[in-house]
Structure 1
Amino acid sequence: MKGNIINYFLILVGAIVAIYAQANEKQSTAILILGIAMLMFGVYRIARTIPSKNDKDNDHIDRE
Structure 2
Amino acid sequence: MNISRLINFICIVVGGAVAFYAQAQQEQNPYILMGGIVLLIFGIYRTSRNIPSKFDKEESFIKTEREDEV
2-structure distance, mates of 1:43, 1:19:
16
Please report the TM-score for the alignment, with normalisation by the length of structure 1. Answer: 0.88
Task: Give unmatched runs, 5+ long, in structure 1.
Answer: none
Identity of counterpart residues, as a percentage?
47
Give aligned pairs, total.
59
Is residue 2:1 matched to residue 1:27? no
1-structure distance, mates of 2:37, 2:59:
38
Per-residue deviation, residues 1-57 of structure 1 (Å, max 9, x unmatched) = 11000000000000000000001100010000000000000000000000000112x
Per-residue deviation at 1:60? 1.6
Task: Give unmatched runs, 5+ long, in structure 2.
Answer: 61-70
Work out which of the two has the higher radius of gyration on C-alpha atoms and give 1 or 2.
2
Flag as ranges the 4+ runs of structure 1 deviating above 3 A.
none
Could you say which structure has the higher helix fraction? 1
